[in-house]
Structures are given as C-alpha cells and as structure tokens.
Amino acid sequence: MKKKTFYVMVCCWVMTLLVSCSGPKEQVHLVIWGGESSQELLQQMADSFIEQYKEEADITISIGVEGEDTLRETVIANPAAAADVFSFPDDQMADLVKAGALLPITQETDQVIEQNGGNDSVAVQSAMADGVLYAYPMTASNGYFMYYDSSFFTEEDVQSLDRMMQIAQENGKYVSMDFSSGWYTYSFFAGAGLTLGLNEAGSNYCNFNGESDEYSGVEVAEAMLDIATNPGFIDAENEKFQSMIQDGTIIAGINGTWSAGIVEAALGENYAACKLPTYSIGGNQEQMMSFAGYKLVGVNANTQNPEWAMKLANWVTNYDNQLLRFQTIGEGPSNLLVAQSIEVQNAPAMIALSEQSRYAVLQHVGSQYWEPMVLFGTIIASGNPDGKNLQELLDETVGEITQPTE
C-alpha cells in the first residue's frame, strides 16, 4: 500500500509540475463585425473557432453589426475603435489601405492565394494593394441579377424588362428594383455606354450627364422615369423586396445571392433566376449591365491581437466556412474548390450570376459616388414630382460624384 501511495503521489507531482510549467492559457478577446444578415452565421463560425483553439487559448469573441455599405466610413473615422476583424466590399480596399486601417496578411498567405485562384485571379487582385495581400477573399458573388416566379414568366419573357412589367401589371403584381442605390441604377447608364470609374488621384470620373456613342444621360434618366412610373414596377430596397416576394406581391426582382434562401423558400418549385433583362431606351433594347465584386475580410491594423485576429479572419473565409456561408445565406464562394462543387454549380442564383458576369464590371468607384446617386434615384423613383430639368439634375449629380478627394 505504501508503494502504491508513493506512486500516486509521484504521478500527482508530475502532473502538477507539467501544468505549472505550461502556465495559464492565453486570454484572447476579439471583436468581429458583419452585416445584419450574417450575425447568426458569424456566431456559428466564432463558436467553432473557439472550439478549434480551446487547448491553446481562452478565447472570447464579440460579434457586432456593421453594414458593409458603411464599413469604410466607420473604420476610417476611428480605426482604433473598430473591430479586430471585419468584412467589406473590394471597392473599399484602396481607401482602407490609404487610411492605414488594414494589417498586411502574413499568415498562410501562399495558401490563401492558391485557394482563391492564384496571383492573377481577380479575387486575389481585389484583396491586394501594391503587391501586398491586405485581406482574405470571402465571396465572389457581390453582384446582382433577376429573381422570378416561373409560374408567371417564361424564359423568353424574362429577357425583356418591358415584357416582365406588362405581365406583372396584368396580374396585379410587381417587378422590383432598388432605385435609391447607385449600385443598381448603374446598370442603366452602363447599358447605354456611359462610364464611371476611378482616377489615379482617387476621385471619380463619370459622364452620366454626357453622351456615349449612342445615347445621352438624359435619355437614360427618361428611360428610368418610364420604368419608375410603370404600374407593373415598384421601387424596393432589400428588406422590402424580401418581404414582398414572401407575400406574393413581387413576382420578380433584381437582387443578389444573399436573398437566395428567402426567395427559394417563398417561391418553392417556381423559384428561378436569370441574368438582367434588356430595357427600353431611345426606341431600342439595351442589355442592363451590373457591378461585380468580391467581399473580403480584413484585420484592423490597430488590433491588440494581430496573430489571433488573422487566425479568425482566415477561419471565417476557409473552405468549410465559405461552403457554410453559401449553404446558409447563399453567398457564392471565392474559394475555387467550393465554387466547383456540385452544390454551388446547381444553384439557380449562381447560374444567373455567372450569366450576368458577361455584362458586369468590377465595382471600383470612390465613396463620393454613392450619396449623390441616392438623391438622384429617389427623385426618379418618385416620378420627378417637382419636374426638375433632367439635364440639370444629372449635372448636379455628376458634379458631386466627381468632387476631388481630400
């Protein structure tokens, strides 16, 4: 018994020594921001991250809501108060890098680049500045297309916005689009051959108030007014679109992959999606264009836990979580292996996005573009109630869009 007791005491002493030598686990607290629709998903990812690294550190993660449309302004206003990890559209990269708000990525850089298509892929290029990787690619579906109820429309019908609005009106229903967002209304101007982009100095160039080879900006505005006042059309931002397609009021609408689950649940076996249709301008039919882009996850340059923050950013954008993001909220992956999966390839929203990609350009515009287009689109959506001269309205809008950066 004495010998047995001795052995037990020795074992206990050895275990105590090992614990004391290893010391207490590191205490890590991280904050991650994401959009409203991704909060539950982020919580699931945070929980799995904590479980994965529980032997290395005691980790707590706080999840906050910060819309990707306002992320840039929020972070730049006070980088030190921003989250350790946050998601943002690729067109905000330049401003965030310029503001010194992003930490260069140094963890598994080669692997991240390879998984997202290599150095020459658009996904990787969207996350780089001056050859340095500043973010982890998360999605390749930051674009838009047309959802529709196939019990009302044939595949031929959805080629024309005029035809779709006619069918909607005949059935006391609506086709929708968000006119208050320059992200969507860009499709009309680009379809007419008018241009928008970034100068080297960081300001915008824009000729929406001028002319292309075929059309003028005024003709685009007139075409938009015709659509806005059509009885078969309704102006609807994201939440309104989702609500009205669920109650059957909207039977087709321009939106993105984040609404795929809601639309599919609402339409059931009649769920369908396609590229954007043509619209009427100057007596012709022109293909609606679109912005295309990527969503990225960056690490705050002011984080107190850079290594753990990079681990978390890498985690929420890895293979498993890109697949989970697609399965949960329908956002398309940037990871090539996930994108090539049968599950993604068979999704109507992904097929529509691929079709629309032939008529899409990267969303590289400065922040001065967005607010003027909100006012312009709101006036058009309401039918230009004050009868404002359209050329003057466009001149004012473009004047604000092209203001030099500070």
What are the tens digits of pLDDT across the range 3-59?
A: 444 454 444 454 444 444 456 889 999 999 999 889 999 999 999 999 999 999 999
Looking at the DSSP bridge assignments, the partners of residue 175 are 233, 252
Under a CB-based contact definition with an 8 Å cutoff, are residues 179 and 245 in contact? no
For 246-291, write each residue's pLDDT tens digit: 999 999 999 998 899 899 999 999 999 999 999 999 999 999 999 9
Residue 202's pLDDT band, with cuts at 50, 70 and 90, is confident
Reported as a pLDDT band with limits 50, 70 and 90, residue 343 is: very high
Is the pLDDT at 293 greater than 50? The verdict is: yes
Nearest-10 Cα torsion for 314, 100, 295, 319:
-10
Tell me the average pLDDT across 202-216. 95
Task: Report the percentage of the chain scoring pLDDT > 90.
Answer: 80
Q: pTM for the full model?
A: 0.77
CA angle 375, 379, 384 (to 5 degrees): 155
Across the chain, mean pLDDT equals: 92
- Phi/psi at 50 (nearest 5 deg)? -60, -40
Q: Which residue has the higher pLDDT, 202 or 4?
A: 202
Q: What is the pLDDT of residues 81-137, one digit of tens each?
A: 999 999 999 989 988 999 999 999 999 999 999 999 998 888 898 999 999 999 999
**Given this model, what pLDDT does residue 363 score?**
83
pLDDT for residue 330: 85
Does pLDDT of 229 surpass 50?
Answer: yes
227 compared with 331, residue with greater pLDDT: 227
Taking 3-state DSSP, the helix, strand and coil percentages for the chain, each rounded to the nearest 5, stand at 50, 20, 30
363-386 confidence digits (pLDDT tens): 888 889 999 999 999 999 999 999
Rounded distance, CA 133 to CA 149, Å? Answer: 41
pLDDT at 43: 97
How confident is the model at residue 201, as a pLDDT? 81
Q: How far is CA 166 from the centre of its chain?
A: 31
Instruction: Give yes or no for a contact between 342 and 336, defined as CB atoms under 8 angstroms apart.
Output: no
Q: Which long-range contacts (CB under 8 A, 24 or more apart) does 319-325 make?
A: 319/115, 321/45, 322/138, 322/139, 324/41, 324/44, 324/45, 325/38, 325/41, 325/138, 325/139
Domains of the chain: 10-134+295-333 (3.40.190.10), 145-292+354-401 (3.40.190.10)
Higher pLDDT among residues 171 and 25, named by residue: 171
Listed in sequence order, the residues at least 6 apart from 330 whose beta carbon sits closer than 8 Å to its beta carbon are 257, 258, 259, 260, 261, 347, 349
Are 245 and 263 in contact by the 8 Å Cβ rule? The answer is: yes
